[in-house]
Copies of this chain bind each other. A is one copy, B any other.
């Protein structure tokens, strides 16, 4: 009896390990394609990626897997399974259930549709021509509406999509959280825009050689306790971090020689993602639990480091000298306070990926409200550009002059990623909550930054978040770590206090 049980568990673990091995090789190919793979091999490499992805899909929906899952669920068997096995079974079941409810023909057509839509979108964006892209987006929205019915939901249709990116989160929660954020941020943006004492910024845009930026980036990553023996730093067009396994988590960045902030804050941001993946407990290797638990929790890690560490005054008390040492004299006449205000300049803008930490959430809220309305049939694609422009005016007080800098700016909708956007702002909200909780255990947070002693910060995050991989859900992590559900008040408090200070409004 016991032997049979063990054998089934072992066979299941071998099976999912094989899936993880395929995924690791897919990950390496993806990293390679984005960091230096030769142009002429790319289309062939895409075919290889397709073959391996199909293999993963086939294995994740196979009769063999279903057999394991059913067998392991038998009461006498289940009770004896290791925790990691149980969690892996649950994760496999969840994926399987989703795949099974989607009509295969519709899924296949959708993969082709989004692939073509991305090509059409590139052109439409450059031409600022929404009309040519509209038919694609209509089909994508239509599929996503049907998708919510196939996979099912409680309450709002949009909850079905949220479940793919931020399991446990619902429209009710998000409406409340984003409502509070809006209420606080919209007037704050106005306040700082009208402030008389605007930060000086001219010194930011001076030539800063790429190789010096790289040296600086490496030194900061090391301070963060990013492990270069378990990773590497490369350049790319759209920076990302990727975890192939906890011993191989790669960071990418880019060096804008006329604006060092791109690399410095981008590297810290991706470094935050990388620390998460490097510090997942090794017991999860070879299972679907060996990754970050959600997009939002992942973003909480990157934004924690980028904003609460990297844009903190005390961080630069330590690192300003290092920055100066690597720069070509551009900060020689700039005192630390002027520098700090400069790197924290904020205000309304049109483009999300160029937005500052204060207005960023408003860009996300706009997208969330629009896509929720689309999915629920309260808004049609034909009316989206107008709705977009109105929303930008309402939240940020700016109006795009054309759709290229408006509704067409992001790749998410062309690629079919509805339900993804909220994770960005939720991650930021989580990060502020984590900061509050961390400060109870590390009351000398500020002094740690001043000393450049970032190890205790990294260790706290590992202890509370990283190590668990995907074995805990987002809200479970939040509850265990902060004792609360999603609560935007800490982020609001932080932004109000920081930006009134940066803009000398209360002074």
Q: Is the CB of A155 closer than 8 A to any CB of chain B?
A: no
**Chain B residues, CB < 8 A from A245:** 41, 44-45
Chain B: CB-nearest residue to A282 = B44
Q: Which of B21, B37, B42, B247 contacts A38 (CB 8 A)?
A: B247
Bound together, the chains give a CA A247 to CA B42 distance in angstroms of 8
Determine whether the beta carbon of A40 is less than 8 Å from that of B285. no
Q: Which of B18, B45, B48, B229 contacts A40 (CB 8 A)?
A: B229
Chain B: CB-nearest residue to A248 = B41
Within the complex, what minimum Cβ distance (angstroms) separates A462 from chain B?
Answer: 16
Q: Which of B21, B40, B52 contacts A230 (CB 8 A)?
A: B40
Within the complex, what minimum Cβ distance (angstroms) separates A167 from chain B?
Answer: 27
Taking the full assembly, how many copies of this chain does it contain? Answer: 2
Q: Which of B21, B44, B47, B231 contacts A52 (CB 8 A)?
A: B21
**Chain B residues, CB < 8 A from A29:** 25, 28
Q: Which of B45, B229, B248 contacts A248 (CB 8 A)?
A: B45
Interface residues on A, range: 35 or more
Bound together, the chains give a CA A88 to CA B149 distance in angstroms of 48
Assess A231 versus B38: contact at CB under 8 Å? Given A18-B51, A25-B48, A25-B52.
yes
Bound together, the chains give a CA A197 to CA B227 distance in angstroms of 55
Q: Is the CB of A369 closer than 8 A to any CB of chain B?
A: no
Most buried by B among A17, A245, A250: A245
**Chain B residues, CB < 8 A from A250:** 38
Q: Is the CB of A163 closer than 8 A to any CB of chain B?
A: no
**Chain B residues, CB < 8 A from A230:** 38-41
Q: Which of B18, B21, B40 contacts A227 (CB 8 A)?
A: B40
Determine whether the beta carbon of B229 is less than 8 Å from that of A39. yes
Bound together, the chains give a CA A229 to CA B22 distance in angstroms of 27
Bound together, the chains give a CA A18 to CA B58 distance in angstroms of 14
**Chain B residues, CB < 8 A from A244:** 41, 45
Within the complex, what minimum Cβ distance (angstroms) separates A42 from chain B?
Answer: 7
Bound together, the chains give a CA A54 to CA B125 distance in angstroms of 45
Bound together, the chains give a CA A245 to CA B38 distance in angstroms of 11
**Chain B residues, CB < 8 A from A38:** 228-232, 247-248, 250
Bound together, the chains give a CA A244 to CA B17 distance in angstroms of 25
Bound together, the chains give a CA A41 to CA B247 distance in angstroms of 4
Q: Is the CB of A390 closer than 8 A to any CB of chain B?
A: no
**Chain B residues, CB < 8 A from A228:** 38
Known pairs A25-B52, A41-B246, A41-B248; list 20 more (Cβ under 8 Å). A17-B51, A18-B51, A24-B44, A24-B45, A25-B28, A37-B232, A38-B229, A38-B230, A38-B231, A38-B248, A38-B250, A39-B229, A39-B247, A40-B227, A40-B230, A40-B247, A41-B245, A44-B245, A44-B247, A45-B244
